[in-house]
Structure 1
Amino acid sequence: MRSLLGLVALGVALIATSVQANNFGDYSNLPKDLAAAATAYDVAQFKADKAELERVLADDYTLADTAGKNLTKAQFIADQTKPGNKTLSVRIYDQVSKVWGDGAVLAGMVDAKGSSDGKEFTFRGRFVDVWAKRNGQWKVIFTQIHPVQ
């Protein structure tokens, strides 16, 4: 089953539902540039926007996925944009944020519904995204996600 990070912030490929119908993260307490980057990341995952994912993920990005595998940026993007994978709804809540100079950790819970390889799924998990400001741009450098009951 594809990695479920796209359900964060996450979720993944949107076809049938508008972005406004979902509950993405509340980044109102973050610096404006980081808040904009985090929102862009959430929406890019949900819409499976390859160009935006390329922009917001660091070249050395690593995802520690729900199957215990480490995925590279290229592997994650290929998985997120794979035909047959789509997210119908996502809700991010119970958020935690820690920000310092040129780094940040954004974490929380995510509930998502959609399909993966043509099979419907419901997912609840906890995620942690590590961000770094590089050359004046916020980039996600690491994500870990795991399912919870």
Structure 2
Amino acid sequence: MMMASRFTASIGSVLLLVAGLAQASHPKLPPDLARAAADYDQAQIHSNRAGLEKALADDWILANTAGKTQTKQQFIAESVAPGSSVEPFTVQDETIRVWGDGATLAGLVDYKGKSEGKPFQARIRFVDVWRKKDGRWQVVYTQAARVP
């Protein structure tokens, strides 16, 4: 796969990770959502395919910074590929909304990492939409936009 595609996937991966890292201990989150976000973080940090499968709904879609969409399968394949990594980062300007069986976790991040072993750096505004179904929280949609 081309470098641009891998970089875009890395951005999506980071965005999802960011949402979980920032929200995992946030007092506005229900404990089970905070736990799901933290578990998702760990799955991404450790390139854990099973953890990613659990965290993302089967119908999950990423609207990435290139204006394209990725499926769960495409995203996971790229997220666990050799040479892909993300360094720790902090969410700024975070927005949290929780209602019944849904939530949005959003913010702004500056981050860096590697895609196919090559370094990248970007500033991204993201939103993750979470759904609780059958007693389990999963990410159902992510949108990411580059910020100059």
Q: TM-score, normalised by structure 2?
A: 0.86
CA–CA separation in structure 2 for the residues paired with 1:25 and 1:43: 13
Gaps of 5+ in 2: none
**Equivalent AA in structure 1 for residue 74 of structure 2:** Q
Distance in structure 1 (CA, Å) of the matches to 2:122 and 2:145 = 10
Q: Does 1:63 align with 2:70?
A: no
Measured against aligned partners, the alpha-carbon deviations of 1:101-140 in whole angstroms (never above 9, x if no partner) come to 1111111112211111121111210110011101000010
Cα RMSD over matched residues?
A: 1.6
User: How far apart, in 2, do the equivalents of 1:93 and 1:124 lie?
Assistant: 11
Task: Note if contact 2:87-2:113 (Cα within 8 Å) is conserved in structure 1.
Answer: yes
Identity of aligned residues (%): 48
Deviation at 1:90, TM superposition (A): 2.2
In structure 2, what is the Cα distance between the partners aligned to 1:39 and 1:96? 17
List per-residue Cα deviations over 1:9-54 (Å, max 9, x = no partner): 426xxxxxxxxxxx93042221100111112222322322211110
2:17 corresponds to: 10
4+ long deviations beyond 6 Å: none
Deviations 1:59-99 (A, max 9, x none): 11001011111111100101111111111232222211111
> Are the structure 2 counterparts of residues 52 and 72 from structure 1 closer, same or farther at C-alpha, using a change threshold of 3 Å?
same
Aligned residues: 138
Distance in 2, matches of 1:62 and 1:39, equals 20
Q: Distance in 2 between matches of 1:46 and 1:125?
A: 18
1:99 is matched with 98
Q: Does 1:33 align with 2:28?
A: no
